[in-house]
Amino acid sequence: MWKLISAWFISGSFIFATCSNPRSSTSNSPGRDSMLPPVETSSANTDYPSAFAGQTRIGGIKTTNEYTTTVLTRELNKPWGIAVLPDGRLLITEKGGTMRIVSVSGNVSPAITGIPAVNAGGQGGLLGLTLDPDFQNNRMLYWVFSERMTDGNVTAVAKGKLSNDERSIENATVIYRAMPAYRGSLHYGGRILFDVNGNLFVSTGERSDMATRPQAQWLNSALGKIVRITKDGKPAAGNPFLNNSNAFPEIYSYGHRNVQGLAFHPETGDLWENEFGPRGGDELNLIKPGKNYGWPTITYGIEYSGGRVGDGIQRKEGMEQPVYYWDPVLSPSGMTFYKGDDIPEWKNNLFIGGLNSHHIARLAIRNNKVIGEERLLAKEGQRFRDVQQGKDGALYAITDEGRLYRIAKR
């Protein structure tokens, strides 16, 4: 049973800390005797059978190491993405089109200028960001945003240099646009990260509407995809469709709905993603080049109206199954694998920010299967938009409501 251990007033913000009962643990893999009932107790939207045991509603787990949760600030304006600077401070995007630097003590910088205009309507805005692997020397940033064009809106990628005084972005340039443009304001995807070869993985959405939804299956559309591009926005060498004249060469995987979480496993280097289902069917996927992840042909969700999606099927040859899915929804957004040693049982666990579910999901994974699930910060009532690990080993999470949390060993 978690206990609220303190609340105090600092710099105009109430700061809370929570912790578990102090116990010790040396394993990051829960044993069968320690498994709890599944954390999800609400009725599912469907009666669809899963493809394999443990694909959904796996047994619950409970963190036994003591940790604290602290609200560092409540002054952010719809934060969306976190990048960790070399000195440990956090560079955070805000949906309306600003970036700010926040210290680990919660001091928030003025808005950074020089960012190209974003279309912040609906689910659009300034979205995910990442630092150049050589940021310490070149100070380059890369970010995703929704851009208004003459014939609609697109998911776009830009790059620019953070000025030495940290007040502006210099020479901002758009390097990639996920075409075609569409006059809609939903499902932009928006996560971005570098791979070990210095290329960028970028997630897009299929823009939600029936008119664009089928394009998730099209190889001549960048909607509903994970793409891999160079720092200049060109298709990366080795992409699976590079030599296919009928496909966009930047495509890495397809058949996605709205990918808002990307992370590399710290030991295997595998790319994992999460994406929204409709009513139910939110997915966690292990991404392989050239693979088709099924949307909208197969899904474990239903339409918001209650009807079937397409033919209402969940499996089809040539389409990948999710490693895990949620019904009802997790509403998953930013995510990260825990790489620290402070809380040993979290080692290599995946942490996913939940929006409509108002918690952070902790997933223990073994042999590419989820073996346990826990809900963190469920009593906070927040929409968790992103979670990343800081230089100090702590987890940092932002919420749509403007909060920045620090989660660390007590």
Catalytic residues: 187
Q: Taking a C-beta distance cutoff of 8 angstroms, is the pair 408, 402 a contact?
A: no
CA neighbor of 158 nearest in space, from 188, 210, 120, 118: 118
| Beta sheet of 90-94, edge-to-edge order | 79-84, 90-94, 98-102
CA neighbor of 191 nearest in space, from 243, 259, 249: 259
State how far the Cα of 65 lies from the Cα of 341, in Å rounded to an integer: 12
Task: Report DSSP letters for 115-150, one per residue.
Answer: PPP---STT-SEEEEEE-TTHHHH-EEEEEEEEEET
Backbone Cα Rg of the chain: 20
- C-alpha dihedral (210, 356, 103, 67), degrees to nearest 10: -140
State how far the Cα of 260 lies from the Cα of 332, in Å rounded to an integer: 7
Burial class (CB in 10 A: 0-12, 13-18, 19+), 293: buried
State how far the Cα of 218 lies from the Cα of 214, in Å rounded to an integer: 7
Residues 6+ apart with CB under 8 A from 356: 329, 331, 383
Q: Taking a C-beta distance cutoff of 8 angstroms, is the pair 338, 366 a contact?
A: no
State how far the Cα of 273 lies from the Cα of 80, in Å rounded to an integer: 17
Three-state DSSP class for 262?
strand
State how far the Cα of 157 lies from the Cα of 140, in Å rounded to an integer: 13
Count Cβ neighbours within 10 Å for each residue of 115-132 and write b for 16 or more, e otherwise. Answer: bbebbbeebbbbbbbbbb
Q: Cα–chain-centroid distance for residue 359? A: 14
Q: Taking a C-beta distance cutoff of 8 angstroms, is the pair 282, 275 a contact?
A: yes
Count the neighbouring beta carbons within 10 Å of the beta carbon of residue 13: 16
